[in-house]
Amino acid sequence: MRGVADLNLCADPVELTAALIDIESPSHHERPLADAIEAALHTLEGVEVIRTGNTVVARTHHGLGQRVVLAGHIDTVPLAGNTPHRIEDETLYGCGAVDMKSGLACYLGAFARLSAPGASAVDLTLIAYECEEVAITDNGLYHLERDHPELLAGDIALLGEPSGAVIEAGCQGTIRVFVEARGVRAHSARSWLGDNAAHKLAGVLTRVANYSPRRVTIAGCEYREGLNVVGMDGFVATNTIPDAARLTINFRFAPDRSVEDAKAHLVDVLALEEGLELVFDDVAPGAMPGLDQPVARDLVRAVGGEVRAKFGWTDVSRFSTLGIPAVNFGPGDPGYAHKVDEQCPTEQIRTVARVLGEYLAAR
């Protein structure tokens, strides 16, 4: 492809991460990086490469009986003057360093090295997808799940989200709702002429503040639920009784709850008074750990048995809904994601690359 950057997928994983960072790819602007990844994958012999939008899928077909899916998003949050990359004190800095071009580099490198016949004990699928950091309807994995679910098929899926080079299993589900109140606007000096909408939310605020979140252990992983007010709006002015007020509430639930169970629990806890309206704004299911599957147990052994629950929602949920065990496994501290000083220890990048290679080759 004319004008496409060259990527050496078999380079040292730190060098490959640096190269990926230097091909800037904020959401909706991933084409140069997608082009470079596609071109590099086409150099591998006997590999099927499929392009849809700015999502690139590559698969081996060696008839090995099991398939492992390696998935990672290629987009980043908007740039903040943090490209090109730099390396200081064994730490790689740059936009996407932790979320998730380091994990993507590890997965691209593992696929490239193990795609040849006899190199891996399993068939491999590599998915490098666009628009994870923005609306769900733009997410490349969402489009594959909807339009080409066969491309997601496998016995286990690994996502390169930052997890500190240990397995973070499953993920929490999430529900975001609005609680809306209506009243009558008036001057605050004559408040008896109005009806304060904000005051009608006092009961809901109290119940959320007093809520005792559940902890549940699944397959050795402890998930911690949370119910929190994350937004308040609808006010008019400091001298005006508001005629409308709204709370935004987020419920993070353990993956042993279905979406319907989580919705019902949330409705019971909020116990809205008459006149208040509950609006569901965003709902996503959780994902069970799936560590009881043989193909997952081998991965747990490869990382030395260190496993923990994933706090937050990731695209492992998409695989879980298809009945495919999925885990998060990538280098770096997720606390640095989206920060101006986004960074990842080079040692963790090499550790994840090594473990992936050992796991896929030894099975």
Q: The domain spanning residue 214 has which CATH number?
A: 3.30.70.360
Q: In whole angstroms, what is the distance from residue 99 CA to residue 336 CA?
A: 8
Residue 252 shares a structural domain with residue 318: no
Last residue within a domain, chosen from 284, 299, 320:
284
Q: Say whether 300 sits in a helix, a strand or coil.
A: helix
For residue 302, the model assigns a pLDDT of 84
Percent of the chain with pLDDT over 70: 99
Number of domains in the chain: 2
For residue 325, the model assigns a pLDDT of 85
Last residue within a domain, chosen from 269, 284, 299:
284
Q: In whole angstroms, what is the distance from residue 349 CA to residue 230 CA?
A: 34
* Band of pLDDT at residue 289, cut at 50, 70 and 90: confident
In terms of Cα–Cα distance, which of 295, 348, 354, 332 is closest to 96?
332
Residue 199 shares a structural domain with residue 141: no
Residue 133 shares a structural domain with residue 268: no
* Band of pLDDT at residue 333, cut at 50, 70 and 90: very high
Residue 309 pLDDT > 90: no
7 is a domain residue: no
For residue 209, the model assigns a pLDDT of 98
* Band of pLDDT at residue 298, cut at 50, 70 and 90: confident
2 is a domain residue: no
Joined tokens for residue 238 = 């400091």
Last residue within a domain, chosen from 284, 308, 329:
284
**51-103 tens-digit pLDDT:** 999 999 999 999 998 999 999 999 999 999 999 999 999 999 999 999 999 99
**178-227 tens-digit pLDDT:** 999 999 999 999 999 999 999 999 999 999 999 999 999 988 889 999 99
For residue 1, the model assigns a pLDDT of 47
Helix axes 13-22, 346-362, angle to 10 degrees: 120
292 is a domain residue: yes
Residue 347 shares a structural domain with residue 220: no
147 is a domain residue: yes
Task: Record the pTM.
Answer: 0.84
**11-34 tens-digit pLDDT:** 999 999 999 999 999 999 999 999
Residue 148 pLDDT > 50: yes
The residues carrying an active-site annotation are: 75, 132
Residue 234 shares a structural domain with residue 197: yes
**151-175 tens-digit pLDDT:** 999 999 999 999 999 999 889 999 9
Cα angle value 316/318/321 (rounded, 5°): 110
Q: In whole angstroms, what is the distance from residue 284 CA to residue 257 CA?
A: 12
Percent of the chain with pLDDT over 90: 81
For residue 321, the model assigns a pLDDT of 84
The range of the structural domain enclosing residue 317 comes to 13-170+287-362
Residue 96 shares a structural domain with residue 152: yes
Residue 2 pLDDT > 70: no
Average pLDDT over all residues of the chain: 94
Residue 144 shares a structural domain with residue 34: yes
For residue 300, the model assigns a pLDDT of 86
Mean pLDDT, residues 41-56:
97
Stretch among 83-92, 275-284, 299-308, 323-332 having the lowest mean pLDDT = 299-308
Q: In whole angstroms, what is the distance from residue 103 CA to residue 342 CA?
A: 14
Stretch among 120-134, 233-247, 293-307 having the lowest mean pLDDT = 293-307
4 contact partners, CB below 8 Å, separation of at least 6: 32, 35, 36, 39
* Band of pLDDT at residue 363, cut at 50, 70 and 90: low
